Structure formats: C-alpha cells, structure tokens
Structure 1
Amino acid sequence: MTNTLTSNENLSHSKSTEISFFKTFFVPPKERITIERLFELIKTGGDFKENIQKIRLESNKELRNGRKKLLPAVTVSGLFENERKASNLGTHSGFLQIDFDEVSDPFSAIELLKKDTYCYACFLSPSGNGVKLIVKIANQKNQHTTCFRQLENYYKTTYNFTVDKSCKDVSRLMFLSWDENIFVNENSAVWEILIADNKNKFSSLLESFQKRENFVSGNRNNFVFKLSLECYKANIKMHEVVQLVSEKFATDGFTVDEIERTVASAYKSKESVVKESKGEDQHTSYSLLKRAENYLERKYQIRLNEVSGRIEYNEKSKNDRFRELNENNIYRELQHQGISLSLNKITSLLLSDFVPLYNPFLNYFENLKPYDSKVDPDYIDKICSYLPVNDMERFRLHFRKMLVRCIACALEPTVFNKQVFVFVGEGQNTGKSTFCRWLCPDDLGEYLTEYVNTDKDGLIVLATNFLINMDELATLSKAEINSLKSFISKDKINIRLPFAKRSSVHPRRANFIGSTNNDEFLTDETGSVRWLCFELTGKLNFNYKKDIKIDDIWRQAYSLYKDDFEYQLTADEIKENEKVNNRYLVSSQEVQLIQKHFLPANRENGEFYDATDILNFIVGKYSHIKSNTRSIGKAMKSLGFARSTKYDSEKRFSNYGYFVELISMQN
C-alpha cells in the first residue's frame, strides 16, 4: 500500500490529544497536557528556556545530560498511569517521536524534513545538535514498534538520517526543547503499517523473480539490486522494500545496512531515469548507454524469450503484439535520436539483464483461470468421451497423466517426457491429426511443430517447442523410428540457439504426440516403453471443438500439476503398456515364420529349442532367409515365448532356450 493521509476511527490526531507530562525526569506522571500545549511550550521555552540555553552552551556531555534531566518532559505516544513503563500505557496518542541525534547540520535537516509527507512537527533538540520529529501513526498499541521500525528504515533510506533506536519504546520520554521556529503541519499523512496489498504485491513479485534469480553467496547484492528495480516499477516505496527484503533475507553476513544501501542504489538509478525523461540534463548528466536505456524503456517493452532465445518487443503506445526485435533497426532509431551508441554496445545492452526474461509457457499457465474442482466439471474426463477409444478406462488414466507430464516437461528443467502419446486408427478423416493440433492452445500456437528431424535443427526443436505432432508415424522407416527413439530419450540439449553467441545446455521442453493409420509401426522387439498407443474404433465426435475449450483442459491439468499429481507411469503400467504395444509391432520375417511353425509349450509337453536350433530349422526350410540368433531371440520375446534353461548331461552345462511345440507338419 501507499501511505496516504487517512482518518482514524478512534483518534483524529488532533492538537487536543492528551499525553502524560513530567515536571522533571525524577517526578512520576501526575499531570497531562495537550499536544497543542506541548507545541506552545516548545515555541516559547516556558520557564525552562534559560536551562535550554545553558545546555546548548555546555561542552561537557555529562554535565549537559545532567541539566537535561531537570527539564520538563512528556511521553508523546500516550497517557501513563502511576509509573512510566510500556505495560502502564492507558491510551495511545497516535503519535510517535523520532530523534535524529548529532546531525551535522540540524537547520538544513529541518528544512528538508518540513517537506516530508509524514512530518507533523519538527524542531531542534535541547542540545541544539539534533532534530526531533513527531509523526502521526496508527494508534493501536501493538503497532507502535512495527511503525517505528518502518519509519526508521524510511528516514534512513530516504534521507540517510540515523534514528535513535530508543524511540521504539512506547514509554520513551521526550525532554521539552525550545525552538521559536517549530514547524507544525496539521495535514501531514498518517503512517500506516505496511499491510496486505504491498506485502502481497511484493510476495508475488518475489516468487516470480526467484524463478530466474537466486539469492546465494556472491549474488546477494545483485539479487537485491535487481529485485529493487522490479519493486520500483511496481510502485512500492523504497523504505517498504528495505523492510520487506530485510525481513526475508537479512543475516549477520548480509546486514540491514547493506540491504539499505543496495535498495537505495537501485532506487537512485531509477529516479535518475525519471529525471531524464522529464528533460533534466539530457545531454550532460547521463552516458550514452544510460540515455539509450532510458529511451528504450520509455518507448518499448522488451523481453528475452527464454524458450525461443529471441529478443521480443512491442511499442508501449500501441500495445500491439510482441515481435522479434532487430538490433539494426534499434541502432538506426537511436542514431536519429542523437544517441550515437555503437551496434556492438546496443547488442551487448540487449543481451544484458537490462532485458528481463520471459517464459511463454509459465506465462500461459499462470494466467489461466484457476481450476476449482468443487465448481468446475472434470474437463479432462469430458473430452475423453468424445474419442471412440478401444480401452477407455486405460485411456482416461493415461490421457490425464500425459497432460500433466507435458506441463512438467515444459516448466521444469529436470523433467522430460519419456513417452509419445499415439492415436492408432484405420482410415482417413477420422480426426486424429486435427485433435492432436487442437491440444495445443492458441496462445502457444507458435510452439507447435509437425515434425522433427534427428539433426542439429531437431535438437533446437526439442528445446524451443511445447508440442511436436508426429502426423503419420507409419511413413517412418525403421532407422527413422530408432533415431526418433533416441531423441525422445534426451533430457538436455547442448546447442547454440540461432541468436546466441555460444553453445549452452538447454532443458528439453518439447512433448511428443502422434497418430497413424497403420496398426503395425513399432519396430523394436526388445521393448517399446516410450510409446503409449491407443486404438480408435471410429471417427471422433467433432462437437468437442464447440463444447469444450482447450484452455479449460489445460487449467485443470495445471491444477493437478500444482497439487503434485503423479504423472509418471508406474512399474505395473509400464508392463501393461509393453503388452499392449505388441499388437503394433511390425511383423518381421522371423516373427512370421516362428508364428507359422512354433507354439509356446512347457517342460512337460514341449521340445527344447535354443535360438540356434530355431534359426537352423527356419533356414533349413527357407534357404533364402537371412537371419541371426539375436533376431530370433527378439522375435521369441515379442511373441511371448518364455525363456528357460535345460541341462545338457553330455556337454555338462545348462543351455538357454524355449520349450515349444512344432506345428509345421500341420501346415
């Protein structure tokens, strides 16, 4: 929140407010005076004026302090009963005293404080070497210390004035002073506790900021400086930033003083930008680089898309869509503005932290309407009903997991999606490909691609897209399928993006979906865990497009993701999937011939054949066949033949093979 002049339900912060009065330091509180009377006594000096003059002439500090205790005094913050201590506070006055001791130039300090929004009254201290200030605060007793700490930070960061920490004591005694020029501003603002809106604004900003910056040793000052720049843009006051950052990050090794200096430095740099934008010292006070920054900040929104690696911009006055920035155009524009910065320096500026990071995936999901399971329907379950899938129960489970897995892969650097989600269905125009494209929301449309080559360009596609739609898997060769399999297994990509100067490691963000009209497209008999295949028994119900919004599906999936929904396949689900995928394997010659001549059997009623025996049997019948024992083993495994052992008493060792029943004579 921004501290503004406010009214108080219980107290008007008026001159008629009463406070405890002490004739001297040694006398208990038996009297009370109004704030108005306090100001009159300070202005005239009352009957203590002569003592004040002696105090100001006294060079011996000990004697000076002794004379001060003979002065009348008040407790600015309220009325006390019997004894002056915090527990005896009867009514809080709504005022708080601030002491600036031993100020180098008290009169200049007073002139400065007169312009301060929160200065209700300020005057010289009894010694004449300091300044006393009275501020209106929220009047609840339990807010006094908090208000003091925030005011302490405020005056330190705003004016570099050090406040006497004793003022945090609500029973703090203030010795009356004499200042004919006492300043009083009845319309000063009330200092309110830093509450809800600015705390929430700061918390939200910090959460987003920590996703791209880390508060670690060696980066603490840089972290706070950059965070402060963000807070400045969010219109959070400097002293509030100091307070909130200190509460969160201050330690013995990173003190409040250091935080104050860092925040003040950030705000000072930003305030210089504001002055320049108003035309002050445009050609003398700022370097070319600073003038370039100021010009670009005033005219454009610029961001670095951390997914594509591109620098994007739009013109603030037009508020149009973001598009790729061309530094050559920026160079030309700056030259026309009389800012003769070299192209290399412009490029360096655009690649520095002057340009904030932007993640389109995180931006999309974070800006979706929150899903409420108590109110919203199960959109994921609903969309499943529009697809004529052979095994609906299994499909509902894995479709839900796939959606959440896609989000995790896109957002988390350490997560990658190991599976390709495939729709299998005979015939054209069933709606498979259209549905796969529809799954990509409009806002992420530019991060959908239809194919990926298994080369350097393909690696870039893996790092810079949300969905890769493999439209017709059946057209891929065995070599292409196997190359694709290795691509699917990548979790990180070491490449140089088109706009980068050097190679770097990027997270794999892309997720694979696909479709095929051919029910035989898998080629690896040793296992196909990376493929999740679902058979369509007919055309999709195309009403899903008008009945369901894709954003609703993704916001439900994002809710599941944030609730730690288990999106990875379990061991049992992997085994089940392997069995399901056997029906989609391309039938090799070995598979076809084994199916023709052998049936699975057991030890009691079958004959034992090892892979060599089976190979010799097949080659003996089909001499043109070229195969090997490894291919035979893969085929036997994919067909479900159990691998067993049998002891050979003549050779005295156990051999691996299969118990089978020959059926060749029947064909």
Structure 2
Amino acid sequence: MSMNTDQKLVSVFRNKFDNGLLKDGQPDPKRLPDIDIREFLEGVKNGVWRKPVEYVRAVVDNKAEYDKRKANIPGVTIWGTFIIRNAGKSDVPSGLMSVDLDHLEESEIQRVFNLLKSDPYVYAVFRSVGGKGLCVIFRVDYQRWLESFEGIRIYLTEQHGLVMGWDASVKDICRLRFVSYDPDTYVNYKAQLFKKYPRKEKKEVVKLPYTHTETDIRYVLDQIHARALDLTGSYEDWFRIGWALISQYGEVARPIFHEVSQYHSSYDSNDCDKKFNYLVATRPHSIKIATFYYYCRQAGLDTATPQTKEVQSLAAMAKKQKVSIPSAVDTVLRMTDISEAEARPIIEQVYASTEDFATQETIYEQGVRHIQSHFLFYNEVSRRIESPSGSIFGKWEVNELYNEVLILFDGKLGRQAFESLLFSRKTVPPINPLKQFFSQHQHNKPTGIISQLASSIETDTGWELDQFAPSYTEYFLRKWLIGLVALAFDNLCDLMLILTGPQNVGKTEFFRRLLPEELRRYFAETKLDRGKDDEILLCENWIVFLDELSGKSFQDVGLMKNLLSSKVFDLREPYGSTNVKLKRRAALCGSSNPQAILSDPTGNRRIIPINVLSINREAYNAIDKTDLLMEAYWAYIAGEPYSLSNEDIQYLNDNTSRFERWSVERQLLEYSFAKPTGEGGEFIEHLELIQIQISLESRANGRKLESDKIRLELAAMGLKSYQKRFGKDPKTKKQRRPWVYDVVRLENP
C-alpha cells in the first residue's frame, strides 16, 4: 500500500482577537481543534460558513462596518498549526502559503480564476470573505517562507500579469485567513511545489539525476502529445534528442523520434527518416538518454511518473543511509503497491547515479516518508509505538531515529517538528493486534476445539442439562471464551472464570498457555491490589490472571463487581497531567486451592467456578490455541450470546453452591434464626434490623457486625422486611410502624 503524506493541518481561531489564550494569559481549554486543510477548503466550497460570510458581504461597501463584522468571524492559519497564535509559537507547518488578489472587478474575477486554475503551482483558489477578491494557495517550502513570498509575487506578475491588490501581510506566518464561501472553489491537491525563488544566481551546467523505464518515457511522450509540444527548436537540439534516443534504443528509437519531431512546423516524415539514418551513423557516445530528459525538463515536462518519483525518493533515502539494495527493495515493496519487477531497476539506477535525486516533497513530507520507512505502528492495546518485531519504541529508539533524521536532512527538520510527525496517526498508523490476529486467520473456521479444551479438564462440578447438551464446564467455558473475543472488539464481558482444586494439577498453566505464542505478551498476572495500576493492566492486556486469588481486592465484592462491569476506566496515568478514558480489554480469570470463593450474598451472576481434579496435559497441549480462538471468534460473529441469561444464572447457581463462602453475619444468622415455615406451633417474632444485630452480637461475644451485611444476608435467606403497625409510643403518642422481619428464633445453646 502506498503511503499518503497529503494531510496538512491548520489551526482554527474563533475570530481576529482569539490568540488561543484566556484573559489571564493561560491556554484556552476550549480552543478550537486543528483541522485538515481539506476540511477547510471543503467547508468554503460547501457553505459551512455561508451565513456569517454573507453577513459580512452585506456591508462590503461600508468599510468600518465591514471590518467590524469580518473581525468577528472564524479564521485559520494557512502556514500550519500554532500552540498559540504567535509567530514564535509555531507548531507543525502545512507547507502552504495563501495570498490575496484584491479589488478585482466582477468581470475580471472569473477570467483570473480560470487563469489560475490552469497554473500547476496553484493548490487552491476561492473568493475571499468580501467576495471582491481571490485567495490563492500555493505549496511552498516553509523554511524558505520569505523567498517563496517574493517568488510568488514576481511569478504572478510576470506569468499572469497579476499585480493589483497584493496584501503584504501574508509574510506574517500566523496571519489569519478568514473563512469564506465559494461553491466554485478550485483545489489541486497534486499542485507542484513552488520553487521559483527570486535570487539571481549564475546558471551552472549541472548533471541532473534520472532513472529510465519504459513507463516513464511513455509518460513523457503523452505529455508532449497533450501539449503538441515541439522540443526540436533548432537543428542542434533536434540532433541531440535523436542521438539521446538512439543511445538507449538503437534502431528501435525511430518511431519515438518521429513522435517527438512531428510538432515542428517544418516536419516531413521522409526528411525525418533520412535524418534518423544519419544520426544512427554519427552518434557520439558521450550523449546518453539523460540528454533527452534534460530537454524535457527544460520544457517543463515531468520526466518520471508519480510512481517512479515515489520509488526514487525512497531509494535515495535508503542510499543515503547506506542501506543495501535488497533492503531498499524490501522497503519499497512494503510501502507501495509497486511490483519488484518495476521497482528494482529504478532503485538500482538511483544507487548507480553519482547525482543526488531532487524531490518536490517538502522536508516535512520527506520526514513523514522516512519515519514510515521504519514501519512503526501505534499498538492500540499496549498504547505504545512499536517496531515490526514487536519491541517497544522507547526513548532510546526515538533518539536514534532522530539522529538518522539529522544526518539525512542536514539538520533541517527540528526536534519539535520531528516528534510531531512521529507521534501522529498519519505517520505511525494505529493497529489493534487482537483484531489483526482474527483478520489474518479469517480463512480458519474450526469446530469442536472448545469441546476438546473442556474435555481436558477432569472435574466434579456441574451436571448436564440433558445427554445432548454440553457439560457445565463446556457450556460456561465457551461463554467465557466468546466474551474474551468480544473484549477484543471493544464489547464488554463481565464473566470471570476461576479454576479451584488442589495444588499442582495445572490450574495456573491452563491460563498461562491459553493464548497462541504471538499473543502471550497480552497475558498478565496480578494480585489486584495496586489500584489504578491494575486498571491500566486491564486496558493493556487481553487476559489478566489472579493466581490463588491472594489479593485482598478479590474479597471486596463491590470492587470486583465494578471491575467486571466496567467498559471504560477514567484515570490518570503515571506522570500524566490529566485524566484519560481507557477501554478495558482484558478478561479476568483466576485460580484457588480452596473452593469457598463466592461471597456475594446477593447471588452470583459473574463468577464461573470449576473445581479441577486434574488436567490432561497431553490433550491440552495438543489443542491448537489459534483454532481455539477462531472457533470462539466465529461464534461471536454469528451472534452467539456470551452474557448470562436468567436461565444461565439459575443453572450456574444450582451447580455452584459448594463454592459459597458464608460471612460471619450469615453464619450467625443461620445459627440463630430461621424463616417461618407457615406450619402451626411456630413462635414468630417481628424484629427490627437493630434487634437482630444486637442478638447476633451477643452470640458473637460483643463483636461488632455490619448492619448492611446483615440486611443482605437476610435477603439471601429469603427474609424480606415490611412495615408493621404497633401500638402508640408512650412518649411521643405516635403510632409506630417500623420495618421488621418475621423470624423464628432457634434455641441453639
């Protein structure tokens, strides 16, 4: 895939008085975001700012009111982006310059507009905010800003006779370009870089670098035909062009010689043939095909296709870095859609040339291309820039890459501009390796793998719904695995799979080796007792494992519910200055020797416990973990549910009562009180919560209990409070209607 370096950002300000700061001099937190120049030009064309612009144009003949209204509409800084609107606070250049042609008569505007549309250097043209002038945008080298300004001024005067209405304030790089409206806006995103600088220098004979391919020479001939261009002004030129073509093609150059010669006013086919025969016989060996390209360039023709220029640029960079030709070929093939058969000859010619290849790309664009040649990407899971090998691109690597840039561009790309390129999604594309994994294995549609994984676990947990239904283990293991896939695609899965059982049966290794080798870096272990660090862990990994459930956090039912139900964490990262919202990507799992792991009195809807007697290691190791995930993936794509329905929750709880861990409050309640059965002879007491708590604490030797836990445990026992009317309070004389529970007191010693 070829790389696109056309994005050019500009800063947006609300009006003439907006400089990106508040009145107290602090940065404005509500400052408008930067936009692509394309968005600005499309907005001008499509009428995004039509109403405010027409409001300004309505008073164009009243200068005072016109200036007042214009000062209060938005504008952009065509030069590029700014930290604040101050020439000393520039950020990233766009490589563009806008100039004004003001005070044109209406009859002149269309003529000048059409004239500029045909100019190869014009990037865009549209009516300015007042409607009586034109804004013209050029591509320039931002490091030669003033030279470009003077060059454009002279060029428009000499080339097109446009000398009126120049606004010299364009030399101010942070000058505001007010929004406008022009449905006829013209844009040429492939405009040439303006390099016609005004300095008068002595011309020297310079050897121009070139590469030659059949595609390129046909590209040149097509331009000649399109313009009916005569390159053969004099006999000397004609002969030299003929010799140049013959040097490359010999006799086969005859039809090409006719193609080039036919646009001369004195062209005659027979005479041209005779001259060609003469040239074949007299060709000086010092003239090569480069001479033909020289004449073409002198006539303003492109001597290489955009595709060839792209290869030339990449090859020139690789050559300067002393990269081998095979490595350069590999880089070109990875960065473009060009075949090796087309690319290799161009690369070899660049390496063989003694001349440096010039490029129409700005330093900014070349910097983008150079960084892209390292094939770095932003890992959306780890949230770090990484190399193709998967290694983190840290501070040392950033410095090394910048040192390369210093050498390659002779220090013309500053550190700030370099880092703005490096940390840009345009330059370093974001990649989700989890989604990429599934995309790369789309052809793989296995079945029965999850069943094999479940069969490798010998367990005494669960009973089958019927002989044709999957076992408890397979049923819930499948849901957890599909939920794991769902998390990779930014959907929430609130299930946690826990294996219990004796030591050394392989519970921990079951999870550690569940992912394919290429994805195991996204498996992490924790005790879940590190606060926000664990939340970050859940955002940077795919599976987070709690070994032996040893952390205190697992005992906190509220915290576990929050972690399992959270899709996004709002937190401040280490060394961060502001809070960020991070997607949770990890599924939770764990292991425990004791079986008593369920402590939520409101019931279990998220924890899937399986008691492991043993794991068949041979059967487990034989399972292809890629196949395992792909089966879960296709189940997810098919819409198979991974959340638990009410029936699933009932099935889960019917099979997992043995995993419950009763609190002290529950144990005392079970020992002290029972729910009325409704049979005769029972003595039912109507007790308030505080009365029950005092009774329990007396049995617990005065130990303080939690009333909220008692309330939850009473509900878990099926006891619900209700309001009961008692007699009047002797002190307040008011009717008492407290909330009470109907209980039967147990006469345990």
Q: TM-score, normalised by structure 2?
A: 0.48
Aligned-residue offset at 1:591: 1.6
Do structure 1's residue 336 and structure 2's residue 410 form an aligned pair? Answer: no
Q: Deviations over 1:354-398 (max 9, x none)?
A: 1111111111122225343xxx44110111111123116232221
Q: Which of 430, 433, 439 pairs up with 2:505? A: 430
Residue equivalent to 2:495: 419
Q: Which of 327, 341, 345 pairs up with 2:398? A: 327
| CA 1:360–1:594: 2 relative to 1, 3 Å | same
Aligned amino acid, residue 455 of structure 2: S
CA distance in 1, matches of 2:347, 2:369: 6
Residue equivalent to 1:6: none
Residue equivalent to 2:94: none
Gapped regions of structure 2 (runs ≥ 5): 1-213, 230-266, 271-331, 340-345, 464-470, 729-734
Is 1:273–1:294's contact at 8 Å kept on the other side of the alignment? no
Do structure 1's residue 356 and structure 2's residue 356 form an aligned pair? Answer: no
Q: TM-score, normalised by structure 1?
A: 0.53
Aligned amino acid, residue 393 of structure 2: E
Do structure 1's residue 491 and structure 2's residue 546 form an aligned pair? Answer: no
Residue equivalent to 1:510: 586
The within-5 A match list for 1:620-631 is 620-631=698-709
Residue equivalent to 1:93: none
Residue equivalent to 2:309: none
Match of 2:387, SS state, is strand
Is 2:371–2:422's contact at 8 Å kept on the other side of the alignment? no
CA distance in 2, matches of 1:386, 1:124: 73
Aligned amino acid, residue 509 of structure 1: R
Is 1:520–1:584's contact at 8 Å kept on the other side of the alignment? yes
Q: Which of 670, 685, 692 pairs up with 1:608? A: 685
Aligned amino acid, residue 448 of structure 1: F
CA distance in 2, matches of 1:230, 1:459: 41
Q: Deviations over 1:457-511 (max 9, x none)?
A: 2222121110001111155367655434423332112346679886542221111
Sequence identity percentage: 22
Aligned-residue offset at 1:524: 3.3
| CA 1:625–1:443: 2 relative to 1, 3 Å | same
Q: Deviations over 1:260-293 (max 9, x none)?
A: xxxxxxxxxxxx9999999775467443333333
| CA 1:114–1:601: 2 relative to 1, 3 Å | closer
Match of 1:364, SS state, is helix
Is 1:522–1:584's contact at 8 Å kept on the other side of the alignment? yes
Do structure 1's residue 544 and structure 2's residue 619 form an aligned pair? Answer: yes
Residue equivalent to 1:368: 441
Do structure 1's residue 634 and structure 2's residue 737 form an aligned pair? Answer: no
CA distance in 1, matches of 2:499, 2:686: 38
| CA 1:384–1:662: 2 relative to 1, 3 Å | same
Match of 2:376, SS state, is strand
Is 2:499–2:592's contact at 8 Å kept on the other side of the alignment? yes
Aligned-residue offset at 1:405: 0.9
Q: Which of 520, 528, 537 pairs up with 2:596? A: 520
Match of 1:532, SS state, is strand
Residue equivalent to 2:727: 650
Residue equivalent to 2:38: none
Aligned-residue offset at 1:583: 4.0
Is 1:424–1:535's contact at 8 Å kept on the other side of the alignment? yes
Aligned-residue offset at 1:597: 2.7
CA distance in 2, matches of 1:642, 1:518: 29
Q: Deviations over 1:212-262 (max 9, x none)?
A: xxxxxxxxxxxxxxxxx99983359xxxxxxxxxxxxxxxxxxxxxxxxxx
CA distance in 2, matches of 1:421, 1:336: 54
Q: Deviations over 1:314-354 (max 9, x none)?
A: 4xxxxx55542521011122233354122222211111211
Residue equivalent to 2:61: none
CA distance in 2, matches of 1:492, 1:233: 37
CA distance in 1, matches of 2:588, 2:670: 33
| CA 1:500–1:455: 2 relative to 1, 3 Å | same
| CA 1:124–1:557: 2 relative to 1, 3 Å | closer
Residue equivalent to 2:543: 467
Residue equivalent to 2:747: 664
Aligned-residue offset at 1:646: 7.2
CA distance in 2, matches of 1:556, 1:648: 61
Residue equivalent to 1:381: 451
Q: Which of 364, 379, 400 pairs up with 1:289? A: 364
The within-5 A match list for 1:524-603 is 524-536=600-612, 538-577=613-652, 583-603=658-678
Larger CA deviation: 655-664 vs 589-598: 655-664
| CA 1:334–1:609: 2 relative to 1, 3 Å | same
* Coordinate RMSD, CA, aligned: 4.2
Aligned-residue offset at 1:594: 1.9
Match of 1:627, SS state, is coil
Match of 1:301, SS state, is coil
Match of 2:457, SS state, is coil
Q: Deviations over 1:559-596 (max 9, x none)?
A: 11111111111123234445656543432222222222
Is 1:123–1:181's contact at 8 Å kept on the other side of the alignment? no
Is 2:384–2:392's contact at 8 Å kept on the other side of the alignment? no
CA distance in 2, matches of 1:518, 1:113: 74
| CA 1:480–1:181: 2 relative to 1, 3 Å | farther
CA distance in 2, matches of 1:124, 1:643: 90
| CA 1:572–1:339: 2 relative to 1, 3 Å | farther
Residue equivalent to 1:404: 482
Count of residues in Structure 1 that have an aligned counterpart in Structure 2: 410
CA distance in 1, matches of 2:215, 2:443: 47
CA distance in 1, matches of 2:649, 2:268: 88
